[in-house]
Amino acid sequence: MEHDYSIAELKHLATEIRKDTLRSITAAGSGHPGGSLSAADIMTALYFQVANLKTPTDPDRDRIFWSKGHIAPLLYTLLAYKGFFPREELITLRKFGSRLQGHPKKDSPPGVETSTGSLGQGLSVAVGCAYAARYDHSPVRVWCLNGDGELQEGQIWEALMAGAHFKLDNLCTIIDNNGLQIDGKVADVMDLGDLAAKVRAFGWHVIEIDGHDMQQCVNALEEAKTVKGQPTAIIAHTIKGKGVSFMEDQAGWHGKAPSQDELAQALRELDGEEGE
Amino acid sequence: METSTLSKLAVRVRYDILQMTTEAGSGHPTSSLSATDLLTGLFFGGTFRFDLHHPQDPCNDRIIFSKGHASPLFYALYEAAGILSQEDLMTYRAMGSPLEGHPTPRFPYAEAATGSLGQGLGIGVGIAMNARYIDKLPYNTYVLMGDSEVAEGSVWEAAELASQYKLDNLVGILDVNRLGQRGETMLDWELDAYEARFAAFGWHTIVLEDGHDLDAVQAAYREIDHACGRPTILIARTVKGKGVSFLENQDGWHGKTLSREQFDRAVVELGPVDLNLFGTIEPPVQTMPARWTPMPQVQATSPNALSTREAYGRALVDIAPSHPEMVVLDAEVSNSTFAATFGRAYPERFFEMYIAEQNMVSVALGLSTRGRVPFVSTFAAFLSRAFDQVRMAQYAMDRANIKFTGSHAGVSIGADGPSQMGLEDIAMFRTLVDSVVLYPADDVSTAALVRLMADHHGICYMRTTREALPRLYQEGDAFTIGGSRTLSRSDDDRVTLVGAGITLHEALKAAETLAASGINARVIDLYSIKPLDIATLRTAAAETAAIITIEDHYAEGGIGEAVAAALSDVATPVFSLAVRKLPMSGKPDELLAYEEIDASAIVRRVQEL
């Protein structure tokens, strides 16, 4: 364990991060709130508890790749909360000249490890990075965040094959299994079948968790560090739009910014949830 | 057919394989020998049904050699069936012979061109979808794959989609010979691992421990259940180079042929070859394909100009009644490309391809080989990952009648940022032999160009724009492939501005500004980027002092280079305004200004002249 937050502290942090994520999307007038909220808990656990990530330039830092690049707003908020750049900058999201691009660009802001946004490519980059770390006998661990929709890209399965073939036990990918993509439920749109069986058949250690249970998130990420001889995939069962009643499990909130009124209601709900 | 007869046919096929590759001096005999028993059993054991004299009979089963380098086996089977002669085989790989190094439809029994690995299953999915959902015919589709090629992600895209569409009329045959081009495959002979993967993807799996035991091969084909709701994969352990002791399971023999002396030794090992023994193939079950007669659907005409992407969706609906061969495919962004408009109107001809662009293109090719006219859409940016599939489609020649549309072209998409911007698409599609590349600037021309694409046989590409653009044309204005429209001209034009799509509007604005300062500019809508309206461009070059092209696309391979190449023999200079800096998020007008392809940049460029 790299840091020592209590589960309650992590949950509080995740709520604040959700709020600032939504504020930045509202300020931008466009962006992807649904997927940002579904991945917020496990990524908070990763950035603030499990990953070795003190500064964005430490050569021995863990590397975290965001293959589902469209939830850049969550990434930026996490990096701001890590202190890698000023939080005030979050509201420049998607503005001309801002470092906070619609989809992530490497080192813009500090802490973005690679440019993504064309789905299905991030895991391959992570495989290359993990392979290099292994080759260098480096302690660096490599993490990746995948959406469930992008698993339809064949390149993901190429990366899974390579990760297992090279026995990259310093690599863990988190699959944000929120069950929705642009057009509707992934299962309606495309029945992924038994996802765990598929990933296992491709040679990965699989852990399935409730991606909104902070303790399970921390435990799964820690377990990934102990696996030997194969990479790990954490299938985090999540809810798109988690934490905001009118966004939860609604495909319509895939790529739509909340209005000021909707933001106000969302913030109230998130604060209320905190109070409970 | 008796197993003993099949064995003799397999000997003949092996003999042919060795003979033609030795004669050609190149080719892949060992990769052919590993699959010989599997395919001899399929063709001549009663499973494969095909009328050899009518290869385009819609009721025929279909076979795709996804491992196209096993072409010697492919041709040998048709020799053993009596379609090719021994003399024909001797032309293998020779210039002008239909028996090319990797199969193409120059040999009419090849459904499409293969040889770029990992694409055959997707083509097979398209053909099987046609049988199940369109022609509603009982034919089956077989795809021979090598074990090396299942490392291609496109295979898993196809596997996923086949399962999703419950294609139990699709059979994959996996030739697990353990050796790739340079050595062992990732999984060696781990049949269980292959089985687990395909089973997890929802396939019915049949494992064949010895792919050279013809009784077992025949039993495996009998085990296929075409009513189980799942595609079938036959996973067969085979030996590369099977039948010739010094080739068997030997690394270093991939893509290598025998010397004459080695050939003579190999033939001795094969045993007696009976060239008077021919295999027979079962005829197909004859039924009539279903017909589709789409009813016209009324769409209220929009008083306001629509974005070209929105106009694309409406145009698809409009042309359906006169184009019953059309099908529409989209990679899970149909609400952005507006292919969804067609999907709502004619759900029976709309097929969701999910986030798997490579497979989408292969499926389109498969459908096209069966006479369908696929309209394929996604963001222009994401077609680039499928360009190998597009490239291979052109080698299917007249069987590739596919209409691609890439939406969200250019930096003008704005806030989503560079990962979503199509900036290479014109260059890609221009490279294809005989391709058509179109780029409408308003909704009226979009509708006209969609109709032109539908009526043009071959590979066409149209790029559409995210932003709503003002209407420039009226219903009935003429558009042609290879045409252009001149929107502003006078007898005193000093300069010609050539735009298309969103930059045409910038050119028109610039022309107004220039006119106010006494400079007349000719403005040409170059909606047909390939072929180009060279006559109009030449006239403009003769009548004005300079030509300025403006495009929301990278400079390389784009409109500027196309025009400059077409006018390379005239003195009038051609200047190109194009995307030259790495773009970023922002508003559309901010990005057009940043890349210097907006009206002010055009005015500045003219003033510099």
Percent of chain B past pLDDT 70, that is, above it, reads 100
Mean pLDDT of B149-167: 97
Catalytic status, residue B543: no
User: Cα separation of B37 and B33, whole Å?
Assistant: 8
Indicate if the pLDDT at residue A258 is higher than 60: yes
Residue of B nearest to A196 (CA): B200
Mean pLDDT of B86-100: 98
Mean pLDDT of B521-525: 98
Indicate if the pLDDT at residue A189 is higher than 80: no
Indicate if the pLDDT at residue A15 is higher than 60: yes
Percent of chain B past pLDDT 90, that is, above it, reads 99
The whole-number pLDDT of residue A252 equals 86
Residue of A nearest to B158 (CA): A154
The pair of structure tokens assigned to B346 is 């004619």
Indicate if the pLDDT at residue A188 is higher than 60: no
Indicate if the pLDDT at residue A275 is higher than 60: no
The answer to whether position B233 is within a domain reads: yes
State how many domains chain B has.
3
The whole-number pLDDT of residue B184 equals 95
Distance in Å, alpha carbon of A25 to nearest chain B alpha carbon: 12
Look at A149 and B418 and tell me if their CB atoms are within 8 Å: no
The whole-number pLDDT of residue A179 equals 83
Indicate if the pLDDT at residue A274 is higher than 70: no
All residues of chain A having their beta carbon less than 8 Å from the beta carbon of residue B590 are 96
The pair of structure tokens assigned to B59 is 């009721």
The whole-number pLDDT of residue A185 equals 52
The whole-number pLDDT of residue A87 equals 97
Residues B180 and B90 in one domain: yes
Please tell me the pTM assigned to this model.
Answer: 0.96
From B401, B433, B463, give the residue that closes a domain. Answer: B463
The answer to whether position B182 is within a domain reads: yes
The pair of structure tokens assigned to B115 is 């040889």
User: Is B104 strand, coil or helix?
Assistant: coil
CATH number for the domain harbouring residue B95: 3.40.50.970
Which ipTM value was assigned to this complex?
0.93
The whole-number pLDDT of residue B571 equals 96
A contact test, residue of B147, B584, B590, B594 with most A CBs within 10 A: B584
Residues B336 and B189 in one domain: no
Distance in Å, alpha carbon of B333 to nearest chain A alpha carbon: 7
All residues of chain B having their beta carbon less than 8 Å from the beta carbon of residue A200 are 196, 200
Residues B419 and B564 in one domain: no
Q: If you ran DSSP here, which 8-state letter would residue A235 be given?
A: E
The answer to whether position B382 is within a domain reads: yes
Mean pLDDT of B6-21: 98
Mean pLDDT of B118-143: 98
Distance in Å, alpha carbon of B52 to nearest chain A alpha carbon: 35
The whole-number pLDDT of residue B302 equals 87
Cβ B420 vs Cβ B413: under 8 Å: yes
User: Is B573 strand, coil or helix?
Assistant: coil
B contact test, residue of A127, A190, A191 with most B CBs within 10 A: A190
The pair of structure tokens assigned to B603 is 């005015």
The whole-number pLDDT of residue A133 equals 97
Q: A251 pLDDT band (50/70/90 cuts)? A: confident
Q: What's the Cα-to-Cα distance from B68 to each of A192, A204, B75, B407, rounded to whole Å?
A: 30, 31, 11, 33
Mean pLDDT of A144-170: 96
Give the active site residue among B149, B357, B424, B551: B357
Cross-strand partners of B62: B141
Tokens 């003579």 found at: B264
The answer to whether position B375 is within a domain reads: yes
Nearest to A207 by CA among A193, A187, A221: A221
DSSP string of B35-89, one letter each residue: THHHHHHHHHSS--B--TT-TT-TTS-EEEESSGGGHHHHHHHHHHTTSS-HHHH
The whole-number pLDDT of residue A4 equals 84
Residues B242 and B317 in one domain: no
Residues B351 and B412 in one domain: yes
Residues B242 and B340 in one domain: no
The answer to whether position B60 is within a domain reads: yes
Indicate if the pLDDT at residue A191 is higher than 60: no
Residues B264 and B315 in one domain: no
Which residues are CB-contacts of B344 (< 8 A; sequence separation ≥ 6)? none
State the DSSP H helix or E strand holding residue B406, giving kind and residue range, or none if neither. strand B403-407
The whole-number pLDDT of residue A2 equals 66
CATH number for the domain harbouring residue B495: 3.40.50.920
pLDDT tens-digit map of A197-214: 999 999 999 999 999 999
From B270, B299, B324, give the residue that closes a domain. Answer: B270
Mean pLDDT of B527-554: 98
The pair of structure tokens assigned to B98 is 């239909």
Q: A1 pLDDT band (50/70/90 cuts)? A: low
The whole-number pLDDT of residue B394 equals 98
Selecting from B357, B415, B418 the residue whose C-beta is nearest the C-beta of A28 gives B415
Residues B217 and B159 in one domain: yes
The whole-number pLDDT of residue B426 equals 98
pLDDT tens-digit map of B374-418: 999 999 999 999 999 999 999 999 999 999 999 999 999 999 999
Indicate if the pLDDT at residue A187 is higher than 70: no
Mean pLDDT of B509-522: 97
Residue of B nearest to A69 (CA): B419
For chain B, what is the mean pLDDT? 97
Q: B192 pLDDT band (50/70/90 cuts)? A: very high
Residues B455 and B312 in one domain: yes
Mean pLDDT of A100-104: 94
User: Cα separation of B418 and B583, whole Å?
Assistant: 6
B339 close to A (CB below 8 A):
no
Look at A152 and B355 and tell me if their CB atoms are within 8 Å: yes
B199 close to A (CB below 8 A):
yes
Residue of B nearest to A256 (CA): B416
Indicate if the pLDDT at residue A186 is higher than 80: no
The answer to whether position B65 is within a domain reads: yes
Look at A154 and B157 and tell me if their CB atoms are within 8 Å: yes
Residues B419 and B328 in one domain: yes
pLDDT tens-digit map of B30-59: 999 999 999 999 999 999 999 999 999 999
The whole-number pLDDT of residue B346 equals 98
Domain A7-275: homologous superfamily in CATH: Thiamin diphosphate (ThDP)-binding fold, Pyr/PP domains (3.40.50.970)
Residues B91 and B206 in one domain: yes
A189 by Cβ neighbours in 10 Å (0-12 / 13-18 / 19+) ranks as buried
| Range(s) of the domain holding residue B552 | 485-608
Residues B57 and B168 in one domain: yes
Question: Residue A70: phi, psi to the nearest 5?
Answer: -70, -10
DSSP string of B161-225, one letter each residue: HHHHTT-TTEEEEEEE-SB-SSSB-SSTT-HHHHHHHHHHTT-EEEEES-TT-HHHHHHHHHH--
The whole-number pLDDT of residue A273 equals 74
Mean pLDDT of A77-95: 97
